[in-house]
Structure 1
Amino acid sequence: MGGGSVKDVQSKKELHEVVHGGAPVAVHFWASWCEASKHMDQLFSHLSTDFPHAHFLRVEAEEQPEISEAYSVSAVPFFVFFKDGKTFDTLEGADPSSLANKVAKVAGSIHPGEAASPASLGMAAGAAVLETVKELAKENDSSKAKGQVQPGLGAPLEKRLQQLIDSNPVMLFMKGTPEEPKCGFSQKVVDILKKEKVKFGTFDILSDMEVRDGLKKFSNWPTYPQLYCKGELLGGCDIAIAMHESGELQQVFKDHGVDTTDETKVTESGNAKGGISKSTDLSTKLTSRLESLVNSSPVMLFMKGKPEEPKCGFSRKVVDILRQENVNFESFDILSDEEVRQGLKVYSNWSSYPQLYIKGELIGGSDIVLEMQKSGELKKTLHEKGILPKENLQDRLKKLVASSPVMLFMKGTPDAPRCGFSSKVVSALRDEGVSFGSFDILSDEEVRQGLKTFSNWPTFPQLYYKGELIGGSDIVIDLQNNGELKSTLSE
């Protein structure tokens, strides 16, 4: 063991043996659903190559409750460091700098008397470890170190990104604007920041391709939205929600002296638009007309043109999606009525078309509807609101299993797996060039529990071919190693 790899611990006995083996040990307690765990695990495995004489272990906290309880793990990510068979130090939370420092302390320098190489630390964790890099590179020329941290970004762009990140104490890079978010995840983070009553700046990454692509490299974070506080990346939508619910976000803002605000004033970078307010500029007569239109059908689409003849691509996209989901809907052609067209923007606080309403509630425009369809959230909403009849679970599972010839039920998505086993199966399928459908079982508790009984297989991931269960990650990897995976999935 050692030599630059992270080993998954399966039992308390195994951990005990490694800890008492004499070498320094670092253990990462993680959870497959936690975005921050994944982020920290990248750095953790990177550190394992920098410190080959130490043992790096991983424990899935919820799967190994006995070990977690022994070390009082109550939140993830959580790290425990051992030296000479004794607990030497611990670390709770996603703090890349502290992790790198604590590992360096417990495992000793790579070469005695030298700091860990900033480039090797930085490549894994990007901007998040800049702090560490600065500390570790005091003897080195830190600007050189910083240049190595963000590969492939020119100096002018890097400077511009840094200025944007620093332009407000709380800064959100999102799709769209706070008044008109262009994706459900961006919308959620905007809502959270308003609940936290903090002043924040935003940047619409859809308006600038250079920033959109550059920031992913700069922050080493592949998706949007991205939330920063005083120049530090906090994370994306999942992390913002988790931190908000645990009260941690409030604490971070407090610790950094971020101004709170009583009215929801939102400052946009380089564009001082006012905040968001439900306008009262509409006459009572128009308001009640809009209200009755919005509620005139359980599913109501305000679009350009008619369903048979849409007058814009976005309207057509939503019509197609509703038809694919077998939904009966009514529509209103906003090109036929200027008063409704202008009034509804104010009424819904949503300034573009199409707009989709379900039971009088605004769902969003074409981007959001498309995203919801992809994630299965649209179908779920339609069932919950009684628009589509409640499917019984057995039928639903049969349909899901057969929805693609090769179908993978996993934790997370193929591009962002939430557990190592799911990740292995995705890699195996991609290596063999097999195209497959997938379903994130963390997004639906009913499917998660139901499928265990349906397939008589207690764990995830689960891979199906033409409706038949092939097995979990062990079986898939065995098939791949024997050169039989591709042929099994194309018989």
Structure 2
Amino acid sequence: MAATVKDLRSKAELDEVLKKKGSAVLHFWASWCAASSQMDAVMSHLCTEHPKIDFFRVEAEEVPDITEAYSVSAVPFFVFIKNGAVADKLEGANPADLAQKISHLASADGSQKTSEIEEITTISSLNSAVPANGLEVAKKDPLEERLKGLVASKPVMLFMKGSPDAPRCGFSRKVVEILKDLGVEIGSFDILADENVRQGLKTFSNWPTYPQLYVDGEFIGGCDIVTEMHKSGELKELFTTKGLNIQESIESRLKRLINSSPTMLFMKGTPEAPRCGFSSKVVNALQEEGISFGSFDILSDNEIREGLKKYANWPTYPQLYHKGELIGGCDIILELKANGELKAELA
């Protein structure tokens, strides 16, 4: 009959316990772990409630033979033994779970006094401790666990102000528009609805502002980073790499290309090898003025070639854009250059 929690100091002592074919609970603990000390108080209470069960403490780092036998890698850790065999295990400092498992061990029907659970769950919250010698404190932060669950709840998860249908700040709205343009399914959480999540995620992500975008549980960044990745095509590439369904609209593609460089020329061919006289003239005009520019060969993508005509309401090529705005075609560019206005127009 157990009235106190006893210490097991060797494998031989454990073997004697197993030979009895009775019920026993082993508490693996460490002297440096405050949570272990608190669980000792729980064990002391439970051993008086269940006198037919033997309760033992095992100092995990001092009796490695026993620790390794039960694959203990964290403290506190509990092993429940029935008739010489392992019946159950419990990792972490959870008094209510410990009480329930011991009650199941004590009775075939798993019954347990409600008052016992209530009494045990009022024990003061357990303190964290610094890990030592490779063992970790098996205590989980409820908020951190909740944040992990939220982050992993959808492949694309956006923590924002408001909802995708009703964003409540301009930055959140901008990221939602980008994700919708890419055609990905958005999971979201309104951080204005839960102050704990709002403040906790800042620490969890090490990022002080919102919105915050996660993809497959990985933090990507806020509005500025998402916007830059979208402009460069990195965001689409990331989604593709992750196996996410991408259905980017033609309008989104055009916007991204137009804004991929401050000055952007849609032409036939490339600046090094123009494939029409008009494109060649515009390239020469820009180069003579010392204007750097990006370019896109509309002959390489018919969807862009036809789509840009409608988007710009301009039927011919080349087309020159500056900061997202259409400047014009060959005639307008050459006229601006002749008047000495081209460089100023693109400044």
TM-score range, shorter chain: 0.3 to 0.5
The TM-score with structure 1 as length reference comes to: 0.28
The TM-score with structure 2 as length reference comes to: 0.39
Q: Higher relative contact order by CA 8 Å / sep ≥ 6: 1 or 2? A: 2
